[in-house]
Structure 1
Amino acid sequence: MTAYILLLPKGPKWKITCTSDHAASIEYTPNDILLHVLAQGDASMADSSTPQQAENDYFSNEPPPKDLKATITLAREFINRHGDQGRRVVLVTSGGTTVPLETQTVRYIDNFSAGTRGATSAEYFLQHGYAVIFLHRQFSLLPYSRHYSHNTRSFLDYMREEDGRVVVDEQQSADMLEVLRQYTNVKREGRLLILSFVTITEYLWDLREVAKLMRPLGPKAMFYLAAAVSDFFVPRDRMVEHKIQSNEEFHQSHSIDDDPKVPAARTDGRKLVIDLEPVPKFLKQLVDGWAPDGIIVSFKLETDPSILVKKAQYSLKKYSHHLVIGNLLLTRKWEVVFVSALEGEKWIRVPRHRRTKSFSGVASLVGTADPSSKDEEPASLLDNQEAVPQGEPAVEIESLIIPEIEQMHTKYINQTLAKSTVS
């Protein structure tokens, strides 16, 4: 039996029409539909194999990164050293993953992310005494250097030449000195390991191998998954080798009848056809197999305020990890929501007069995903481009997020140790 779902607007309700052996027409509200559609979508994308089989299939077919051995060597030494010292270790993933369309990659699909959340969070984890493995998209933002990169102002504008020497501008020297001191201290203590990826496959290989290395840390291991991970990809065996041609003289048309392995990205006449497959959901494998005793934090980014909390709750229930941090695209620098099994829903919001500037954010949307709370002041009283009042430095929301997570981690460690003592 094949079922098709058609959503039709009908006043405050939607109409679902199922065509099957027994046709039916049922009315539901949009909220009724949401979790049902999510569940049905997951069921349709999953095959009959177990999560372990899906893992085996993926990593058998997708080649590892060329530098994987070097990554494992660096990570093992770092983890063992800090594990011996009894220090907590957090793996922070950051930046977007690419989906190559060709083996010799010219064209690819990219995920939106500059790596701001991950790089900023890594700094605050380091301030709270963690050892940090920073697995980031190559050339995305890095801890500490983020203050002077990806900026509308050139780094060279902060300096000038004086008597044949490079001198930092006086207005910037105090801030730059503070950043330099923090970076130098962390580097001297060896508490920051920087690793990189580009593609979705490189990311998943690195995540799996580093997670397995962190398993002996038990509850002192944390996974802070802030990377923007692709939901779809092109399998290696369906990837063309050479650049997909757009010139009319070099069309690469392909008939479905020619070969059961039709290239996932190909030209059809003058059109480019891209047929992506879903990336297996490995968060459950991380929870149950790769590092079952570590605390796991994932993120949920949405654009629709009405579904943010529901999507976060659904993710938490599906994967059975510890915390989902929900955020909206246009307010992500000023507010997030914690969704956890122990504490339910908890909003963290930067006071309006302490918010950082954002050219992409919309201040009037703050609080719209949280019906029980109102923003402190009407948006019209303080435009999101207005400077923070003198004497009150802007607050990065990560400076509020990380202390909350540290407290949660401490409780988790104590609970785990108490259980092991009783048993």
Structure 2
Amino acid sequence: MASCDVASSCRMNEEFAVPKDVEEVRTAMANFAERHVAAGRRVVLITSGGTKVPLESRTVRFLDNFSSGRRGASSAEYFLAKGYAVIFLHRHRSLCPYTRLYTGVNLLDCLTLNTIQEGTELVTVDQRKLPNITNILKRYQEVQTVGLLLPVEFSTLSEYLHLLKAAAQALSPIGSKAMFYLAAAVSDFYIPASEMPEHKIQSSNGPLQISMKMVPKILKPLVKDWAPKAFVISFKLETDPSILLERAYCALDTYKHQAVVANVLDTRHGYVVIVTKDFQKELVLTDKEAERGVEIEDKIVKNLSNAHSHFINQ
């Protein structure tokens, strides 16, 4: 094991609690990957949603971010349509593939209870309130029948870090057939367990002052040690367009992975730039495409799956 891996592992184990089921999940992901590669498929690990950073050991308060998991959930659908098997590492209660399309819909308002005869009742669905539900349900059932989607859930930053490492180690044996699509909005700051108060912080103590540490950059050991032959994509979100490309190229140079999907907060649903060491590709969603229900993630996945093919052939 390389020194970088040892140092990262030691720090993670000391400062971030290890999920009790991490070995069981690692085995499930390894078996999933092995089965699908044997069937001629590629496997993509998609991270999705934000990460929760607790302020107390017995957590009442935590720091969060705006991420709903929309990009990860929609991308998963497009990767599945491209023939990939998908491990979906997502935040608890964030959006999930297929069901994401009906977020905000009260399911009970879409159902009607009909009495067929005495003692027999039938529940029917009002499809007008669940647009395109027939096609979505068919796609979902096709995916479930073949077992193409493996959801893995996390809640906290600690769980995310350990599960991502487990995923990298599980997918490492399949080499270049593995893709990592790291769309989750991961916190850059945290409070170490050793410095965290055990009980609820009392407002009666006055204004709150918090000192936070930098979250270890897990991308470096992932690329260098845990899954060195995989095709790895990170995401770079900025609010200042003038620094976007500079930050994307800086990430490529620092971590030596294959691609960065760069986007600006205000335009992230309609414009991204895919940056690699060989090319820079702007993807734009036109008004007409948006009216037809096209999503920018469809274009992202098409471009990256093509780049993955080239990577494998090299």
Say whether the fold is shared (TM-score over 0.5): yes
Spell out structure 1 runs of 4+ moving beyond 4 A.
none
- Counterpart of 2:94 in structure 1 is 140
* Secondary structure of 2:242's aligned partner: coil
Within 1, Cα distance between the matches of 2:252 and 2:61? 34
Q: 1:127 aligns with which of 81, 84, 97?
A: 81
- Counterpart of 1:291 in structure 2 is 227
CA apart distance, 1:170: 4.1
Q: 1:230 aligns with which of 183, 187, 190?
A: 187
Query: Is contact 2:127-2:133 (8 Å) kept?
Result: no
* Secondary structure of 1:241's aligned partner: coil
Higher helix share: 2
Q: How does 1:2-41 map to 2 (within 5 A)?
A: none
Give yes or no for the alignment of 1:300 onto 2:236: yes
- Counterpart of 1:352 in structure 2 is 287
- Counterpart of 2:118 in structure 1 is none
Within 2, Cα distance between the matches of 1:346 and 1:327? 12
Q: 1:155 aligns with which of 107, 110, 113?
A: 107
Within 2, Cα distance between the matches of 1:216 and 1:68? 18
CA apart distance, 1:280: 1.0
Q: Deviations over 1:288-325 (max 9, x none)?
A: 11100000011011111111111111111111111100
* Secondary structure of 2:112's aligned partner: strand
Query: Is contact 2:231-2:258 (8 Å) kept?
Result: yes
Q: 1:167 aligns with which of 121, 124, 132?
A: 124
Within 1, Cα distance between the matches of 2:64 and 2:262? 21
- Counterpart of 1:414 in structure 2 is 313
CA apart distance, 1:214: 0.4
TM-score by length of 2: 0.93
Within 2, Cα distance between the matches of 1:116 and 1:212? 26
Query: Is contact 1:54-1:280 (8 Å) kept?
Result: no
Within 2, Cα distance between the matches of 1:401 and 1:227? 15
Within 1, Cα distance between the matches of 2:242 and 2:59? 38
CA apart distance, 1:161: 3.0
Give yes or no for the alignment of 1:276 onto 2:228: no
* Secondary structure of 2:209's aligned partner: strand
Larger radius of gyration: 1
Within 1, Cα distance between the matches of 2:106 and 2:221? 43
Within 2, Cα distance between the matches of 1:116 and 1:321? 24
Within 2, Cα distance between the matches of 1:242 and 1:66? 22
Give 2:11's aligned amino acid: Y
Task: Could you tell me which runs of 5 or more consecutive residues in structure 2 were left unpaired when the two chains were aligned.
Answer: 116-120
Aligned length: 306
- Counterpart of 1:374 in structure 2 is none
Query: Is contact 2:55-2:197 (8 Å) kept?
Result: yes
Give yes or no for the alignment of 1:71 onto 2:13: no
CA apart distance, 1:142: 0.6
Give yes or no for the alignment of 1:57 onto 2:57: no
